[in-house]
Amino acid sequence: MKHYLILHLRAALNSLGQLSQKRVATLANIIVIAIALALPAAFYLAIQNISNASRGLGESTQVTVFLQTGADQSEAEKLAKKIRLRNDITDVDLTSKEQGLEELKDYSGFGETIAALEENPLPIVLQVQPIEQLNSASQLDQLMAELRQFPEVDIVQLDLMLVERLRAMVNIGHRVAWILGVLFCLAVIFIVGNTIRLELQTRHDELEITKLMGATNRFVRRPFLYTGAWLGLFGSIIACIIVAGIYTAIQTPADQLSGLYESAFQLQFLTAGELFTLLLTGILTGILGAWMSASRHLQRIDAFD
């Protein structure tokens, strides 16, 4: 056991020494690896935050009922009362034609155009809030179908749709993040593999002599695996720093945006587990790249005739 530890410690330090002798080349490699790892990580972080933001929206499942333009205020109030009596409804909020027009003026930016209208074209709108237990799609469909039965009702719309669409897009985003992650990991494997391949070529004689002195392939391969691991580790540490930099740069405008929506949403950084995964991914892809190159090279040395 001690013997094994000695071999590993020597290989680890040896490879670190080799890397530090070629500072510029090593640094260039580490930065390329860092960028390759930072891109999918940053994308993942963005998707994760959009996902968090959409979670806040999901809690307000509302049904919006647009009445016929012909329906007047008293008819609307009567209908609202009727709907409020249903036991699957917690509240109904009535927006009159005038209120609707005011809101449109305030929020749309077409205030002057709207003021020029001779007649209010907007319908009266009822915001219907179902009870919390009513959350399955079929139950909501049933409710919406019943609301459509009232003669005053024109259109019934479930606000959930928007949230659902956003969620679906976030799901696609997550998947894209994973695909990017895999592709960039492959890139890291090849970057490290190529670096190690060049290193093996320049040290070919040394490896051959070492093997003649009784070194096993494992012994010869080991320092190169450590080189891959170091490159991956340093690359992923810098990738973490890059992602942290992007996060810091976006934080202030994100908070402002969140403030405008009066949302409690706050930008989240990668969790400790996710950071650990990033570091581990860097190390493992580094080792894998080195292993592929070193094994191929050693096979060539071993080939007889």
Binding site for other proteins (CB under 8 A): 2-4, 6-7, 10, 205-206, 209-217, 219, 302, 304-305
| Cα angle value 196/223/211 (rounded, 5°) | 95
Give the residues across from 65 on adjacent strands: 126, 156
**Quick one: 119 or 302, whose CB is closer to other proteins?**
302
**What three-state secondary structure class fits 157?**
strand
**Smaller CB separation from other proteins, 68 or 217:** 217
Angstrom CA distances, 4 to 10, 17, 219, stand at: 10, 20, 11
Instruction: Name which of 6 and 28 has its Cβ closer to other proteins.
Output: 6
Cβ at position 304, least distance to other proteins in Å: 5
Identify which of residues 66 and 219 has a Cβ nearer to other proteins in the complex: 219
Phi, psi of 83 (to 5 degrees): -65, -40
Q: How far is the CB of 212 from other proteins (least distance, A)?
A: 6
Minimum separation from the CB atom of position 227 to other proteins (A): 16
Question: Would you say 206 or 255 has its CB closer to other proteins?
Answer: 206
State the nearest-atom distance from the C-beta of 205 to other proteins, in Å: 8
C-alpha span between 196 and 215 (Å, rounded): 19
Phi, psi of 109 (to 5 degrees): 85, 0
Least distance (Å) between residue 297 CB and other proteins: 14
Which residue matches tokens 């020494």? 17
The C-alpha atoms of residue 248 and residue 24 are separated, in whole angstroms, by 28
